[in-house]
Structure 1
């Protein structure tokens, strides 16, 4: 698609960003919202396939439901002249594949931070019953602030329909393909978990676990070969961290994590000293395969031959009485049948007896042990893990699970709750909201944003947090509210012409504007605005100065009218540093030693008196201001500057000659 083409009457194409097996991607500019976006166009050779088009549209619309800081947002899905397109958030940065190549080796904590963001995003997709099916570093973007964002949600399903004919796509994806997908089976949420384990492997080693000249050879390794040890590559990697890789990439889906949240929880503590002596993860052994032994036919024939009368035993005088021999043959066959039945019965009676595992979830350990004992089962090891639903010290589940069969007197493993997983809140003041929210959401914390104008804090930085640093919270019950700087507020300046001075001052106070008054003779009513700068309708920032010219009334014609002299006086206002404060609600706010001062200036001259504020302004350092005076010849003016209700500067004898 050529540059400057306007797609859908809204998206102006700027340049090509890349080409893939499914679609081509372009940088475009949204003419309505005035922002850069990425536009993905279905490839020409796939536009005549109605099934692919339908999947592209349906999955694209489904992806618009996935709102998460670590998922590339899908803004729009449409069609123009047979071109299927998808409009997405433009992420300025690089994909994770390039990031690994450029930054390897990556510190373990940074690896965990990246994975926690990715896992948080996949958890949201799985909650919407969307399986990515093509998770790989090429589909994970890292922006210039270090935030990870997953892309190609929804399109991955459509891509799998053409996977066998898209050789480049298969070669790019087969390195992260689960064994069940490699066998041609159905992809599940646990298939995504396998791919996430391979991505974690690559983050730790800088390479993929299996390589080969063809996609088929690599796929075969996924369901035949064991994942190489990351600790053999780097012995410094903790065993607990390698265990996350091993469990996520288990050959059998049942041996993997149940959910990506379970994987995130395990990964979060993998660097903890408490897990330093953890044993290497080994998947659960296959169930014992009992074999039913059948009596060998040759043995049966031998037994029959042994019991069958020999020809020499038959009296010579009765050689033709074959019916008797046939009779004995029937008897012997009957005895053999009885013998086989007895052997089978003995085998059946000798087999291990099985019982049904009872449901002990929600019980105490003692209660669970008693219930297992009543079912002729023993208690095995006890593993403690967090649970948002089961109270502390109560049983979450068993292994084997409830209602499953188990051998009589076998040991049943108990999983006991340590209560909800608590999250420690850090100090996020002054940090980027986007990165902070991503880190908190990756830990399961609900984050609420509220914007507030600020002249001192950069746009997008956190100004306040509702939970103080160091506190531990239950992410299922507590929402963290972050107050984020929206920068200086802008407003459209009202029309002040014709308004009285008092009205203008009230407006300035309400909108946090500084008003500077000038005077000149005019036919308009005295103290009425006859001019303003900037003009009405202009966009101005909060704290800006607006110069308003007021009427002195009609110019007198009497020669006895006193002469009024205009002159300026420069005054330096000292700044007083403020100490940081914590609000009464316990919210932590931006700590600053600079702060701001709000001061009011009062003047007394021909046009003003001390009864009204001449100008109010906000300063963050020592500031020099110029005060205009109009003083009758032979008289003096005055000024006073007030901060926090106290006069800090004053001069009641201001004359032109003295300044």
Structure 2
């Protein structure tokens, strides 16, 4: 797979991360969610096997159900040009095999911490009835923060079915293969437990228990040879910790832990001083299938007669010697009792002194150290981790936990909060709501949509965001509201007939309508509406023009009335762009001009607005005038409250 190839129209291949027995892995970039991912492609020699392909797809889809911080997330499963691929979380770090090689010897508590993460992940998989079947250090990743993540749940079944025919794969997997799998039997949840026991063995010793020239020779050792003792490799390892290895790797599944959770519980207390004298784990012996054998009475009498001393008929009793023997016996018994008492006293006096771990959660590191010191305990390593509940730089918990017992002067590990996981907010104004919401939800942010009408912003685009670009938020406590354009608002026209001019102008301003007035002599009072177009009840968009005819009053006598000439004047109104640079917010009024037109003629004066309109570009308007003979008219045009055009000598012939 070459670099820059875009898989599925979405995942741009960056480089190769490695090759495995079943698939090749690449680093890629998700072009939609803008994040790095790892892409696993089924190997060429397996792409024509329909059974393997079916398993790959089914198990990959099943793995998408496994949501756990210690499991590599599977985001997508698909096919392109016959290539079966799986898209997963990209973990920046190394696999556990390399980690052991680089960090061995690993402190016992760190070994337990790693195993507890792995066990927690496998427990979730088992709860979904998914068996990994190929647990090994190469399938466990350790990121740069020390978090363990299991991978390859998606193709575990396919791998187990092909492992014995692929030398490279099986040499990596057979070291961790359970006896029942080595015999060709079906893998169960207890098969995973066996593999986990081998991984624990390798963490403690730096090597695998069985080695050989061929995969078959190693597999035979799994069901014939006993697991070597980890305490022979390192006598300091507590017996309780070795017992976890022995019980997990018992040859018979019945002798192993019932569940992964049982193994985790046993491992958690394996370093406890209370288990210091624990005996070595020995699997239960096989039960004899034959009947119980009972010795008859004569045999019992015969056996008893062999043990009972017979009197010597020729000898004579010697009571003095017998009494001396009795006295020596009593003296020896007394000395033995005294010796046992002294040993018991020495053990009692030499036993480790135990103290209770205090609760230091919610304290600073300094305060926690002081409280531990008051309880005769020392502060151990400090591990940072995020917490949605505990403030930054305060203690979350300890290991061992509060109220548990620990050896006096033991080192107690502190887990200190880095605060909640914070998410950086980008600039989503101008993007489609669908894309912006997807980007935010991928980061765990709750998104709320709020619609708002707009004449300038296209439908579905983000106009405004509640959190500014560059801010960091706690996604569990903060909701991001995106204001989205719903396009131009529509409304039903009111009945304007009978309304006064001033009332109509107020209505037009309130509903963002443009009103064009015409005049006509009528019996109604002057400046009262006698007609409108469109009519009452019509649906119009915000910003539309409504023509309203006003009454001039009763027509005067033709002899006394001055001659009024009607004519139109064309005026170009220039648009002025607003300066909105540096802002992440956009309102429904940005990028537009509010324009008012005042006219003076036979029917109007400068006291009231003739027309108000909203423009987003240079706009030409037609102004109707009614000017009496020998008189002139005038107009003033205001843009955002400032006069930009005016003419106080308007006549029919002047324009």
| Partner residue, 1:606 | 602
| Partner residue, 1:516 | 516
**1:502 to 2:406 alignment:** no
Could you give the per-residue CA deviations for residues 30-79 of structure 1, whole angstroms, max 9, x where no partner exists?
A: xxxxxxxxxxxxxxxxxxxxxxxxxxxxxxxxxxxxxxxxxxxxxxxxxx
Alignment partners' CA distance in 2, 1:651 and 1:208:
71
Question: Residues 583-602 of structure 1: matches in 2 within 5 Å?
Answer: 589-590=585-586, 595-602=591-598
SS in 1 for 2:548: strand
1:412 CA displacement: 2.0
Alignment partners' CA distance in 2, 1:112 and 1:401:
43
| Partner residue, 1:404 | 404
**1:488 to 2:481 alignment:** no
Question: Which of 95, 100, 103 does residue 10 from structure 2 map onto?
Answer: 103
TM-score by length of 2: 0.52
1:226 CA displacement: 3.9
Alignment partners' CA distance in 1, 2:32 and 2:137:
20
RMSD: 5.6
Question: Which of 72, 82, 86 does residue 206 from structure 1 map onto?
Answer: 86
1:625 CA displacement: 0.8
**Are the counterparts in 2 of residues 176 and 195 from structure 1 also a CA contact under 8 Å?**
no
Pair 201,457 (structure 1): closer, same or farther in 2 beyond 3 Å:
closer
| Partner residue, 1:558 | 558
How many correspondences in the alignment? 436
Pair 600,591 (structure 1): closer, same or farther in 2 beyond 3 Å:
closer
Question: Residues 355-504 of structure 1: matches in 2 within 5 Å?
Answer: 355-419=355-419, 421-433=421-433, 435-436=435-436, 451-472=451-472, 482-504=482-504
Alignment partners' CA distance in 2, 1:103 and 1:443:
18
1:392 CA displacement: 4.0
1:338 CA displacement: 8.4
**1:640 to 2:636 alignment:** yes
**1:245 to 2:149 alignment:** yes
TM-score by length of 1: 0.52
**1:568 to 2:568 alignment:** yes
SS in 1 for 2:144: helix
**Are the counterparts in 1 of residues 425 and 468 from structure 2 also a CA contact under 8 Å?**
yes
Pair 460,173 (structure 1): closer, same or farther in 2 beyond 3 Å:
closer
1:393 CA displacement: 3.3
SS in 1 for 2:535: coil
Pair 110,291 (structure 1): closer, same or farther in 2 beyond 3 Å:
farther
| Partner residue, 2:72 | 197
Q: Name structure 2 gaps, 5 residues minimum.
A: 1-5, 14-26, 37-54, 79-83, 90-124, 154-188, 197-263, 283-305
**1:623 to 2:533 alignment:** no
| Partner residue, 1:120 | none
Pair 208,228 (structure 1): closer, same or farther in 2 beyond 3 Å:
farther
Alignment partners' CA distance in 2, 1:345 and 1:654:
123
**Are the counterparts in 1 of residues 520 and 549 from structure 2 also a CA contact under 8 Å?**
yes
| Partner residue, 1:222 | 132
**Are the counterparts in 2 of residues 227 and 246 from structure 1 also a CA contact under 8 Å?**
no
| Partner residue, 1:653 | 649
Farther-moved stretch of structure 1 (603-612 vs 556-565): 556-565
Pair 101,613 (structure 1): closer, same or farther in 2 beyond 3 Å:
closer
1:206 CA displacement: 1.9
Alignment partners' CA distance in 2, 1:174 and 1:580:
50
| Partner residue, 1:317 | 315
1:589 CA displacement: 2.6
1:647 CA displacement: 2.7
Pair 221,480 (structure 1): closer, same or farther in 2 beyond 3 Å:
closer
Pair 484,104 (structure 1): closer, same or farther in 2 beyond 3 Å:
closer
**Are the counterparts in 2 of residues 174 and 219 from structure 1 also a CA contact under 8 Å?**
no
Pair 224,310 (structure 1): closer, same or farther in 2 beyond 3 Å:
farther
| Partner residue, 1:47 | none
Pair 489,637 (structure 1): closer, same or farther in 2 beyond 3 Å:
same
Could you give the per-residue CA deviations for residues 534-591 of structure 1, whole angstroms, max 9, x where no partner exists?
A: 1111222222211111123344453554443333222111112222278xxxx85329
Alignment partners' CA distance in 2, 1:246 and 1:343:
53
Alignment partners' CA distance in 2, 1:339 and 1:220:
60
Alignment partners' CA distance in 1, 2:553 and 2:416:
86
